[in-house]
Amino acid sequence: MLRSIHEAKLARSVKGKTRVKFCKKHRQRRAALLVAAAFFWVAPMAAQLGAGGASQSSAAIRGSVPSGPASNEVVHLTLRDAIKQALRYNLASIETGENISMARGQRLLALSRLLPNITAGASETVVQGNLATYGLKLPGVSNVIGPYSYTTLDASASQTLFNFESIQRFRSARTAEQAAHLSYADILDAVTLVVGNAYLQVIAADSRIQAHEAQVRNAKALYNQAADQVHAGTAPRIEATRTEVQLHTEEYNLSIARNNFAIAKLNLGRAIGLPLGQPYELAETLPYSEIDPGTVEAALNTAYSSRSDLRSALESEKAATQSLSAAKAERYPVVAVDGGYGDVGKTLGHSHGEFIFQSGVRVPVFTGGRIKGDITQAEAELKQRKAETENVRGQVDYDVRTAFLNLSAAKEQVTVATQNVGLANENLDRSKDRFASGVADSVEVVQAEQSLASANDQYISSLYSHNLAKLSLARALGLARTSYDQYLGGK
């Protein structure tokens, strides 16, 4: 009989240890899946952008230019501070901002072909020549002429009176610059989403540390209680061994949580361009708050009018249309005038003026297929821009509908996880009382602690998912940079 009881306890002990290992692996696998899901959720949105349908690499949007030397003072970083810092120092923000400068340069080059070109100059000339070099030999005349000198002041101007190709090239460049501005606005929205996600990950990692610290305290109290019972002879040695294993397991999980927290802080600092090695702490916890997202149809209407990437794609399509018109206009005549005036003489006081003026019309007669080639390329580019615009339109629809689904699911997950945490705490308290009364062994308490750990992990994950879903909805609507605080704060 005693042997049967011992075997039953041993079986429960083995089962408890197996459950400890299984729960530990389950939490690690769940954490890995959560990180992967966050990456695949955020990266596609954050990687969109660029004029003409180009995209910023995820490496650029996660990178930054460090903003100077670090200080010894600990920086207290709010979400607003983090986003403000990122908009200035994030690598994708910097690169896309320079794209605007390049587009402006292209517009100025196109404009220069429509404006007058005026040059002016002054020169002093000294000449000595030898007639023999020309094969001339005049009787009584020296072969060497000079030296003699004269002064020249001159100015020249040219103006294209009509060139429809240049006009359309300028319009296309101007539209492309507007598209670059919209691309920049969209990348700022994407940076806001990435930085907000990184900030939320730090909060979640810190919450997991606190949860694991509580688990360590519970496991240590249970171990001390079991050790006292073993010392008093009221419990077998296996009770202390089992609770000690659980204590070491929770300490191990706490070590992992602290390492994940440190890495999450590095990721955030890297994305926003903090000085290298700058110590900082988060100044906000962003607690749970609900929002009213409205209807999907209303959200789609908002997104279609607000999303900068869609507006940029439309502007790029318009620029391609104007480029096609410019290519066709290469067949049109070009009307231009130019002229010059100069004042030439031995000195400025003994000089006279001279001028030249000409005007003309230039008509392409045969270009060897060059114009046809330009038109073909422009037509292909326009088709690409149209396809990219429709793709972005579809992406907007997908982003909005996905954000609504994720927000609804995350809200339900928070509700269920909150109930689970309450039930798990109640179950743990009862198990502790039963163990203290000698009615149950430590296996029951260990299992209750594991249930509480799992419930806490689900609750932290659900809060993170809910906040990220709200921020993703703001990004899907094109309002992340301007209204992120309203969505995260529930205002």
DSSP 445-481: HHHHHHHHHHHHHHHHHHHHHHHHHHHHHHHHTT-HH
* pLDDT at residue 432 in the model: 86
Q: Give the closest residue to 93 by CA, choosing from 130, 56, 45.
A: 56
CA gap 243, 69 in Å, rounded: 48
Q: Give the closest residue to 488 by CA, choosing from 80, 39, 36.
A: 80
Ramachandran angles phi, psi of 70, nearest 5°: -80, 155
Say whether pLDDT at 52 is over 70: no
- pLDDT band for position 349 (50/70/90)? confident
Contact 164, 35 (CB under 8 A): no
- pLDDT band for position 57 (50/70/90)? low
* pLDDT at residue 217 in the model: 92
* Weakest mean pLDDT among 39-43, 225-229, 314-318, 427-431: 39-43
Q: Please provide the average confidence, as pLDDT, over all residues in the chain.
A: 86
Per-residue burial over 455-473, b if 16 or more Cβ lie within 10 Å, else e, is bbbbbbbbbbbbbbbbbbb
* pLDDT at residue 134 in the model: 77
Calculated CA dihedral for residues 435, 441, 444, 445, nearest 10 degrees: 50
Say whether pLDDT at 150 is over 90: no
* pLDDT at residue 264 in the model: 96
Rama region for 241: left / alpha / beta (φ>0; ψ in -120 to 50; rest): alpha
The residue among 196 and 9 whose pLDDT is bigger is 196
Q: In what order do the strands lie in the sheet with 144-162?
A: 117-130, 144-162, 334-347, 350-362
Q: Is 151 helix (H, G, I), strand (E, B) or coil?
A: strand
- pLDDT band for position 58 (50/70/90)? low
Say whether pLDDT at 148 is over 80: yes
- pLDDT band for position 25 (50/70/90)? very low
Say whether pLDDT at 455 is over 70: yes
CA gap 234, 334 in Å, rounded: 107
The 10s digit of each residue's pLDDT in 276-313 is: 999 999 998 888 888 999 999 999 999 999 999 999 99
Tell me the pTM: 0.80
The 10s digit of each residue's pLDDT in 72-102 is: 999 999 999 999 999 999 999 999 999 999 9
CB under 8 Å to 341, separation ≥6 — which residues?
A: 154, 155, 156, 353, 354, 355
* pLDDT at residue 441 in the model: 78
Tell the residue number behind the tokens 């988060």, with chain if given.
282
What is the token pair recorded at 265? 């802080």
**What is each CA distance from 421 to 19, 217, 270, 320, in whole angstroms?**
19, 17, 34, 57
**What is each CA distance from 356 to 122, 341, 347, in whole angstroms?**
17, 7, 22
CA gap 94, 181 in Å, rounded: 13
* pLDDT at residue 472 in the model: 95
Helix axis angle for 237-272 and 2-47, nearest 10°, is 0
* pLDDT at residue 426 in the model: 92
- pLDDT band for position 459 (50/70/90)? very high
Say whether pLDDT at 31 is over 70: no
Q: What one-letter code names the amino acid at 22?
A: F
Contact 178, 463 (CB under 8 A): no
Tell me what percent of the residues of the chain surpass a pLDDT of 70. 88
CA gap 482, 474 in Å, rounded: 9
| CATH superfamily name and code, 2-119+163-332+369-489 | Outer membrane efflux proteins (OEP) (1.20.1600.10)
* pLDDT at residue 445 in the model: 86
* pLDDT at residue 326 in the model: 96
Paired with 355 in beta bridges are 341
Per-residue burial over 258-281, b if 16 or more Cβ lie within 10 Å, else e, is bebbeebbebbbbbbbbbeebebe
* pLDDT at residue 274 in the model: 93
Question: How big, in percent rounded to 5, are the helix, strand and coil portions of the chain?
Answer: 70, 15, 15
The 10s digit of each residue's pLDDT in 361-371 is: 999 999 899 99
Mean local confidence (pLDDT), 408-427: 94
| Pairing relationship of beta strands 144-162 and 334-347 according to DSSP bridges | antiparallel
Tell the residue number behind the tokens 């230039």, with chain if given.
362
* Weakest mean pLDDT among 169-173, 323-327, 340-344: 340-344
